[in-house]
Structure 1
Amino acid sequence: MRRPLVLFLLLSLSLQAQDSTAIKTQVGKAINELRNFVALPNDALDPDDMDGNINWLKSNFSARGFNTSVLPTENIPLFFAALPMEDDKPTLLIYMHFDGQSVDASKWDQENPYETVLKAPSAQGWERKSFDDLTEDINYNWRLFGRSTSDDKGPIVMLLNALDLLQSEGATLPFNIKVILDGEEEKGSKPLPRAVKQYRELLEADFLLIADGPVHASERPTVIYGCRGITRMSITTYGPLKAQHSGHYGNYAPNPGFQLAQLLAGMKDGEGRVTIEGYYDGIVLDDATLAVLKSVPDNEEGIAQKLAFKTPEKVGGYYQEALQYPSLNIRGLGSGWIGEKARTIVPASATAELDLRLVPETDGNRLKALVKEHIASQGFHMVTETPTVQERLAHEKLVKVTEGPVTDAFRTALDDPHGQFLVNTLANAFGQDVVQIRIMGGTVPIAPFINELKIPAFVVPMVNPDNNQHSPNENLKIGQIAYGIKAFYNLLSTPLP
């Protein structure tokens, strides 16, 4: 039995007072720290970028009293930090990542995406400001623009500054705190499953908190109980050995573009539902689950307006229900040439790149096998390499199918007590109902922690929903820095019931 843990400091400041005093002061410090962190390039595709980021993490976590380690993996190391452990305290493991998406500076509205730019909203969109314009009364509507300001360096800095605030008040934390930071999340964290197994004892904890992604579009505090997994497939159909004149060979040489189009069209009905038998097997949504899904305050008319479509697909009756099923998505499609480069030819091949988002009930390898069975049922002979001339002459319909690795989905039970603790703590801190999302559409490679450590996991996002993560002009609203510091402050200082 764990004895109740009491803070030496009873956190006497009201949360509202913190917003106007201690937290606002801490936000100013966090902005400066984040600017220094963002200035270190962190392209996930450039391993040389990571050394400088790891050195920054060592320095800044050590300054807060953490013991730090760099954990070798088969590729980019993981960064691990832990405050001194006490046997009678529960342990919270926090996962974030320090790598970022690649940048194309020509698409940004600033010269260097790794140099943080301060902007204020204006009638024309955004007006650049000098950091000298930041007074003690910081405007929470202003934003910091730069790669990884929101995904995911911002939340790392929020955690550090929440700890600064707690330490300045002399608080004794009711948790052991461990932090694991990933250096290649943006390219799938391939080494993570083996690394979690290798460092299992070091990572042992009672529950896992993932600080990644945006809060709900309503901007209310958000707790997410799971995320979908992902796998991918590439499908290529073949026509003539080389592209041929469409006048000479149109109506005669098989057109791979039409073959591919017909093959793909047979995978879904007119309302977007996958027609492949067994694709949705195993998914049951009971009344309690449906009630949670319906409680999420999505503005579906707003989504349609923003994305500019009239009618959504009918996999689910509404947005949250749709996320409970695996998807089959064409993420890229190509054949021949298009636009100004278009030629009057019968193409030699046509390719579709697919991604399949997974839920816990659906195994990625099983779904890929179902897709391949469907392809075979349409009369295609499947190969895994570019077909030889002999194979082309032997088979009327040829298709090359290649497969990507599987990143598993995860989902924690909605009634898990650690989840209830997170929801209650955030509700008390912000005086708002917390948006509870059963599973989010995107993928965070967290399943290895759940599978190996056997602990519940939750995503607690910290950044604004319109942050442009992965895109040009990624940004972080200054008010979200205050939100993140306050959220971490309360989550780290409130004992488990």
Structure 2
Amino acid sequence: MKKLLFPILLLAINCVLNAQDSTVIKSQVRHSIDELRDFVALPNDALNADDIDANLMWLKNKFSGRGFNTSILETENLPLFFAALPMDDSKPTILFYMHLDGQSVDATKWDQSNPYETVLKSKDGDQWKQESFDSLNNDINYNWRLFGRSTSDDKGPIVMFLNAIDLLKKNNVTVPFNVKVILDSEEEKSSKPLAKAVKDYRELLMADFLVINDGPVHVSGQPTIIYGCRGITTLSLTTFGPIKPQHSGHYGNYAPNPGFWLAQLLATMKDKDGRVTIPGYYEGIHFDETTQNILKSVPDSDQEISERLQFKTADKVGSFYQEALQYPSLNLRGLGSGWIGNQTRTIVPATATAELDLRLVPESDGDRLKSLVKKHIKDQGFFITDDVPTKEERLAHDKIVMLKEGTVTDAFRTDLDNGYGNFLVNTLKNKFKDDIVQIRIMGGTVPISPFVNELKIPAFIVPMVNPDNNQHSPNENLRIGQIAYGIQTFYSILSSSIN
């Protein structure tokens, strides 16, 4: 009998402790919701400097009130926000990156009158039903959601971090790290001033490792750590026919059609399976067995992806989704010539334009890939110009492309066996008692490669928000349960020691 009593007693104690822990977290979540509503109420369009100033002042007040030393770091455009707890040279330093700016809004596309006024909603069948915030005073339903611009991207994680700091202080936890935070105000427009700013403030920003809190967890909902992200650059290609659009009855079969020139050119860049045919485009990319095992461990379903996106057969750049992300892409993101739809005209167009984006991986330098594309275009017999061709150039060359290049945002990727990465994986595994989804590199781009390149530190993305958050789109939202997840994630990281 005594042998049975101890396990039963231990189970009872654990249940009480878990209930207490749940109550404490829910109380902090409730506070976070009010704080997030206050933060979201400040418009944060990066195109409006006045918006950013108001957000910076809010952040200065909130971080200073929690014991951080704060600074507004001037850049070539909009400033960065920096905060740090008092330093101790005996501790390793962790640097957190998030961003305070948000995408512009078109209020007419939202299911609420003001995207900057947070709305609480519950799911009623397939419909969302608005709820009163007073209904959260007695209990909190983690499946309810907060709708508003930047609730998830990226004000939510900032508020989760602040409230994790509150809990650490309430519990008298000694943080085993020096803690620094850098908040970007131009992430939504590619953070162009960031590279120079990191050089200018290098000593201030130095850390042992970088944790980026942006983007959603894996679609499975499991805790997620991402070891890198692809970079990006762009190309704009315009082909030319007659100097002005011409009547297709008079000049069809005679005046060259720039749409066909462009279509034929684009068709030479990829094979029928979607692989880039330009020599050297995939050079340097290979995977060892360990890497392949990590890629295959991500709980994706290629069948579910194809059903959700409604296509039968995926491109064959990789043999499955995660493998495809390890290669640079060549994407046709926009295509136009003449008029279409109700505006269709019987003309031979004057021009045709294709907009390309090239997603980059660490093995592929963006300038090098653009050079390969340009060489390929020349090899197809096109004359390349960086401006509208002159009459003399038009008469001297059959096929002309005006090519405009975008800037390069580099990719980054940290080794899968990095010690700080192992610390993050083990910390989340111990906290949530769940498998951690480890993603070698994500498909999108977070413009933080200057930190990696200048500071020479490992970097990891630890996302907090729900995968169906509609970031960048109307009706952006944050599941309340993700607030609890984010607070616990930050708390666990900041209360765990690196062995």
Change (3 A) 1:48 1:438: same
1:407-426 map, 5 Å? 407-426=409-428
SS of the residue corresponding to residue 282 of structure 2 reads coil
In structure 2, distance between residues paired with 1:129 and 1:81: 35
In structure 2, distance between residues paired with 1:317 and 1:222: 23
Letter in 2 for 1:105: A
In structure 2, distance between residues paired with 1:481 and 1:404: 37
2:62 aligned partner:
60
| 1:223 partnered with 2:233 | no
In structure 2, distance between residues paired with 1:391 and 1:171: 72
Could you give the per-residue CA deviations for residues 350-374 of structure 1, whole angstroms, max 9, x where no partner exists? 0011000000000000000000001
Q: CA RMSD in A?
A: 1.2
Deviation of 1:391 (Å): 1.1
1:489 aligned partner:
491
1:358 aligned partner:
360
Could you give the per-residue CA deviations for residues 101-155 of structure 1, whole angstroms, max 9, x where no partner exists? 1111111111111111111011142111111121332000000011100000000
In structure 1, distance between residues paired with 2:67 and 2:393: 65
1:327 aligned partner:
329
2:129 aligned partner:
127
1:368 aligned partner:
370
1:192 aligned partner:
194
Could you give the per-residue CA deviations for residues 291-338 of structure 1, whole angstroms, max 9, x where no partner exists? 000000002211111111111110000000000000000111111111
2:3 aligned partner:
none
1:214 aligned partner:
216
2:96 aligned partner:
94
Gaps of 5+ in 1: 1-11
SS of the residue corresponding to residue 233 of structure 2 reads strand
SS of the residue corresponding to residue 110 of structure 1 reads coil
SS of the residue corresponding to residue 165 of structure 1 reads helix
SS of the residue corresponding to residue 95 of structure 2 reads strand
**In the alignment, is the contact (CA less than 8 A) between 1:215 and 1:463 conserved in 2?**
yes
2:7 aligned partner:
none
Change (3 A) 1:427 1:205: same
Change (3 A) 1:353 1:173: same
**In the alignment, is the contact (CA less than 8 A) between 1:15 and 1:429 conserved in 2?**
no
1:35 pairs with one of 15, 34, 37 = 37
In structure 1, distance between residues paired with 2:147 and 2:23: 25
Q: Which moved more, 1:157-166 or 1:45-54?
A: 45-54
| 1:428 partnered with 2:445 | no
2:312 aligned partner:
310
2:150 aligned partner:
148
2:253 aligned partner:
251
In structure 1, distance between residues paired with 2:17 and 2:445: 33
Letter in 2 for 1:241: I
1:6 aligned partner:
none
Q: TM-score, normalised by structure 1?
A: 0.96
1:460-471 map, 5 Å? 460-471=462-473
In structure 2, distance between residues paired with 1:421 and 1:15: 25
2:83 aligned partner:
81
In structure 1, distance between residues paired with 2:262 and 2:174: 62
Change (3 A) 1:14 1:152: farther
**Any runs of at least 4 consecutive aligned residues in structure 1 with deviations exceeding 6 A, and if so which?**
12-15
Gaps of 5+ in 2: 1-13
SS of the residue corresponding to residue 302 of structure 1 reads helix
| 1:234 partnered with 2:239 | no
Letter in 2 for 1:96: M
Could you give the per-residue CA deviations for residues 356-414 of structure 1, whole angstroms, max 9, x where no partner exists? 00000000000000000010011100000111112111111010001000000000000
2:11 aligned partner:
none
In structure 2, distance between residues paired with 1:77 and 1:193: 13
**In the alignment, is the contact (CA less than 8 A) between 1:19 and 1:482 conserved in 2?**
no
**In the alignment, is the contact (CA less than 8 A) between 1:25 and 1:136 conserved in 2?**
no
Letter in 1 for 2:283: D
How many residues of Structure 1 are paired with residues of Structure 2 in the alignment? 486
1:260-275 map, 5 Å? 260-275=262-277
1:8 aligned partner:
none
**In the alignment, is the contact (CA less than 8 A) between 1:229 and 1:359 conserved in 2?**
yes
Change (3 A) 1:14 1:177: farther
In structure 2, distance between residues paired with 1:19 and 1:173: 19
In structure 1, distance between residues paired with 2:56 and 2:335: 38
Give identity over the alignment, percent: 71
Letter in 1 for 2:381: G
**In the alignment, is the contact (CA less than 8 A) between 1:18 and 1:24 conserved in 2?**
no
SS of the residue corresponding to residue 369 of structure 2 reads helix
| 1:175 partnered with 2:177 | yes
